[in-house]
Amino acid sequence: MIIEQHQINDFTTSVKQNMIICFGCFDLIHIGHISMFENLKNIVSTLIVAVANDEAVQKLKGVNRPIIPEEERSVMLDAVRYVDYVFIQRAGDVTTLKKKYNFNDKETIIWENCMYPLSLLTPKYVAISSDFVMTPAMKRFFSDENFQIIVVPYFDRQSTSKIVAKILNTDA
């Protein structure tokens, strides 16, 4: 089900105790994503996927991204049988979080688009890719909020970047 970010406040405490959230661009959905969703769904009953908005993807991946607009990515993710809820990440006001955790300006996009929704939802579990490097401020945030981190192995056989590179190197 596609929901708006503000609706994550509506989940009850009991539901939050058996849910996991994962964040990503999901620009081109591939087997690595599906495998991750299946594995996460085997851990908990409710899987929430937070889709990076177009502006954030462009800042993180470059001017030629995203390839697929955020609304379409959301619809495709909603069609995946392992995914229970999808929302598009909207940058939030992280002034209070900045004062508390003193993160640097380079991290702001992550805090606005990931930590902010987490501060609203407060699920028991948060999925993080094994290739994601957490800063000391992020580690303190996760510890303070008592999130259980589920480290998802990076699926190096396939990635959106590899798919894009293959397409660009192939004659049509």
Q: Which residues are catalytic?
A: 59, 61
- Count the neighbouring beta carbons within 10 Å of the beta carbon of residue 13: 8
Q: Determine whether 140 is exposed, middle or buried from the number of CB atoms within 10 Å of its CB (0-12, 13-18, 19+).
A: middle
**Alpha carbon separation from 95 to 79, 83, 115, 144 (Å, rounded):** 35, 31, 12, 17
Phi/psi of residue 41, nearest 5 degrees: -65, -25
Burial of residue 166 (CB within 10 Å: 0-12, 13-18, 19+) is exposed
Return the structure tokens found at 10.
């509506």
